[in-house]
Amino acid sequence: MKLVTRAQWGAKPSKYSLAYIASTQGVKIHYEGSYVAKSLGDSGAHGSCAGHMRDIQASHLANTKEDYSDIAYNAVVCPHGFVFEGRGLHRKTGANGNQTLNVKDYAVCAMVGNSGLVQPTEAQLDGLVDAVQWLRNGGAAGNEVLGHRDGYATQCPGDPLYAWVKAGAHRPDGTGPQGGTGGEASGGTALARYQVTINGLVYGYRASGAHVTAVGKALVARGFGRHYSVGPGPEWSDADTENFSDFQVSLGYKGTAPHQDADGVPGPVSLQQLLGTLPGKPATSSVPPFPGRSAFVLGKSNPAVTVLDGGLVRRGFTKHHAGAAYTPGPLFSQNTLLNVRDFQRATPALAGDADGYPGPLTWRLLLS
Ligand SMILES: [Zn+2]
Ligand SMILES: [Zn+2]
């Protein structure tokens, strides 16, 4: 899944603290309900999506009638299939119409409107499924996938998107575990079904390509192929996840539940251990330069800490927090330090010096 964190799209802080929610029955799908320029759906227009996201947030923050704390949605999906973090995981939405409905379901909005761009793209439908899975895996969302108009008087999410919801909210190729009445994703399996991008290549559930086959073959060659009944490759299956998890456990990683260290989704370190090399093109330019150790002083604020927090959230090292959940921000707190230390301890190249203070290597590995 292509997640764009709040820090990455330049979110403003919440106006009020956001209410924690432990779990929901599911997710409601929304559209913007206003004009959205058709050009936003152009294949080359993704550069405009972060700005579009900031506009949505600004309009919600300026809405004096609703007095929103923040953008109302938990996530927003652009026509290019990117999932923009809104209120995020374990946060009560403000978008479903009333308090009862806001407690019942999370809210995911597609960047389509009631005029202009009205038809969701295939990438966007894939992204919506990614967003639903993200909320299931990380936010304890239940199986329900409904439209905003279910149980509330509104046109939202518009006819094209609502037809897709009613048809089962499947991926465009007809597969995927989605469905209004349940699916394997939130059944008993508890297998990690999110994706990561390493050096520009995507790994994890439903990722596809020769690089996925190469991982499977390497797993088999190392003796970690017992879960394959077909394959390996070219599409990443649950068997790949289970085999990779076995490999991670053999490296000493702990925790096989989704988003724990041995959940079967590769990280750069485990992947390099398996293959002896990291395929793809190093995305060095996407990692911001290390700001220097002086940016990380306990109890002091620095913009680099927000960037650091984005990496911790993306990689799931957010166990230590005050209040309901770990929220990115400029303050280098004791919790920041403990979360960084967890990341360092889980990363063999850093584990020898896991003091919770980021050096250049921690910075690069966390943000790459
Ligand atoms: Zn709506
Ligand atoms: Zn986009």
Same domain assignment for residues 270 and 294 = no
Which of 156, 186, 216 delimits the end of a domain? 186
Which of 167, 186, 205 delimits the end of a domain? 186
pLDDT given at position 151: 87
Same domain assignment for residues 130 and 206 = no
Predicted confidence (pLDDT) per residue in 90-108, tens digit? 999 999 999 999 999 999 9
pLDDT given at position 296: 95
Same domain assignment for residues 26 and 170 = yes
Same domain assignment for residues 307 and 232 = no
Same domain assignment for residues 172 and 221 = no
314 CA distance to ligand 2 middle (Å)? 19
37 CA distance to ligand 2 middle (Å)? 13
136 CA distance to ligand 1 middle (Å)? 20
The pair of structure tokens assigned to 329 is 């921000």
156 CA distance to ligand 1 middle (Å)? 5
Provide the domain limits for residue 41: 2-186
DSSP 198: E
pLDDT given at position 323: 83
Q: Is residue 172 very low, low, confident or very high in pLDDT (cuts 50, 70, 90)?
A: confident
96 CA distance to ligand 1 middle (Å)? 6
pLDDT at 284 over 60: no
45 CA distance to ligand 2 middle (Å)? 7
Q: Is 2 helix (H, G, I), strand (E, B) or coil?
A: strand
160 CA distance to ligand 1 middle (Å)? 14
pLDDT given at position 316: 87
Q: Is residue 184 very low, low, confident or very high in pLDDT (cuts 50, 70, 90)?
A: very low
Q: Which residues pair with 146 in a beta bridge?
A: 28
148 CA distance to ligand 1 middle (Å)? 5
pLDDT at 175 over 70: no
Query: Can you give the CATH number for the domain in which 27 is found?
Result: 3.40.80.10
Q: Which residues pair with 153 in a beta bridge?
A: none
Which of 139, 165, 186 delimits the end of a domain? 186
Q: Is residue 214 very low, low, confident or very high in pLDDT (cuts 50, 70, 90)?
A: very high
pLDDT at 327 over 70: yes
Same domain assignment for residues 243 and 180 = no
Same domain assignment for residues 113 and 6 = yes
Percentage of the chain beyond pLDDT 90 is 68
Same domain assignment for residues 33 and 179 = yes
82 CA distance to ligand 2 middle (Å)? 6
What gap in Å lies between CA 229 and CA 221, rounded to an integer? 16
**Pairing relationship of beta strands 75-77 and 82-85 according to DSSP bridges:** antiparallel
Same domain assignment for residues 308 and 218 = no
Predicted confidence (pLDDT) per residue in 338-362, tens digit? 999 999 998 888 988 899 999 999 9
pLDDT at 87 over 90: yes
Same domain assignment for residues 29 and 151 = yes
Predicted confidence (pLDDT) per residue in 108-145, tens digit? 999 999 999 999 999 999 999 999 999 998 999 999 99
Predicted confidence (pLDDT) per residue in 49-64, tens digit? 999 999 999 999 998 8
Question: How many distinct structural domains can be found in the chain?
Answer: 3
Query: Can you give the CATH number for the domain in which 265 is found?
Result: 1.10.101
The pair of structure tokens assigned to 216 is 């499977």
Same domain assignment for residues 214 and 95 = no
Cis-peptide into 303, omega within 30 deg: no
Helix axes of 303-315 and 360-367: crossing angle, nearest 10 degrees: 50
Q: Is residue 177 very low, low, confident or very high in pLDDT (cuts 50, 70, 90)?
A: low
Same domain assignment for residues 205 and 344 = no
Contact 216, 224 (CB under 8 A): no
